[in-house]
Amino acid sequence: MKSGEFKREIETIKRQINGINDENIKNILDSRMLWYQKHSEYNKWAFRLCSLAVVAINAIIAVMSHLSGNLWMAVFPVVVIFINSAMVVFNMQDNWKRYRRTLEKLRSETDLYVNKAGEYAKCYNDDKCDCCTAEECRCCRDKKCNRLFVERVIQIADDENIKWASQQSKEKDETSPEEDK
């Protein structure tokens, strides 16, 4: 994404968050959405850059093999192996896609919350509660909806963290030597 596009997306996130009245919720959501946006972008560009480098180096190898057999013919394949290994070790493509999905889930949840749709419509349409007067009841509904929103945002982030931890554990198991029994 070009820097202008990146800035526009950040501005879109900021506008979306501005629809929320509670400052604590705004701060939580703002930090999470921006974190996923930035890390998604970083991993996307790192993956693309490494992929292009591999293609370019392979093309150079093909051209140089016709021109002469020199030291570079041994160096370039090593560089390709290094770049491919870095893409695998750092899970650039997987991270980019996973972070992007999480960001989009957070944005969708924010849209539902701001527009009082989905589960939040039920929240705001509940009958008067037993604990307060009609005037206070709106405050209770707001708190209930805010609490639901925070729980759902945290759940989205927790789900992503669980997927990340599972991936790390799986990779660790694959790289750990088998113990003799």
Residues 6 or more apart whose CB falls under 8 angstroms from that of 107 comprise 13, 16, 33
Per-residue confidence (pLDDT) for residue 129, from 0 to 100: 56
Residue 123, pLDDT score: 79
pLDDT at 62 over 60: yes
Of 123, 114, 163, give the one whose Cα is nearest residue 143.
123
Q: How confident is the model over 67-84, as a mean pLDDT?
A: 76
pTM more than 0.75: no
Q: Is residue 176 assigned to a domain?
A: no
In a domain, 175, yes or no: no
Give phi and psi for 161, each to the nearest 5. -65, -40
Whether residue 174 is contained in a domain is answered as no
Tokens matching residue 136: 């206070």
Q: How confident is the model at residue 135 (pLDDT cuts 50, 70, 90)?
A: low
Residue 137 has pLDDT above 70, yes or no: no
Q: What is the pLDDT of residue 154?
A: 92
Res. 140 pLDDT band, cuts 50 70 90: confident
131 falls within a domain: yes
How far apart CA 32 and CA 105 sit, in angstroms, is 11
Q: How far apart are CA 113 and CA 124, in angstroms?
A: 10
Residues 146 and 154: beta-carbon distance below 8 Å: no
Tokens 């969708």 sit at which residue?
Answer: 108
- In the predicted model, is pLDDT for residue 180 greater than 50? no
Q: What is the pLDDT of residues 141-176, one digit of tens each?
A: 788 888 899 999 999 999 998 988 888 787 777 766
Amino acid letter, 68: S
**Residue 66: inside a domain:** yes
Examine residue 173 and state whether it is found in any structural domain, yes or no: no
Q: Among 24-33, 65-74, 103-112, which range has the highest average pLDDT?
A: 103-112
Q: Tell how far CA 97 is from the center of its chain.
A: 7
pLDDT at 134 over 70: no
Task: Kindly state whether residue 116 falls inside one of the protein's structural domains.
Answer: yes
Q: What total number of domains does the chain contain?
A: 1
Query: What is the sign, positive or negative, of the torsion defined by CA atoms of 55, 57, 63, 66?
Result: negative
- For residue 178, tell me if it sits in a domain: no
Range of 64's domain? 3-167
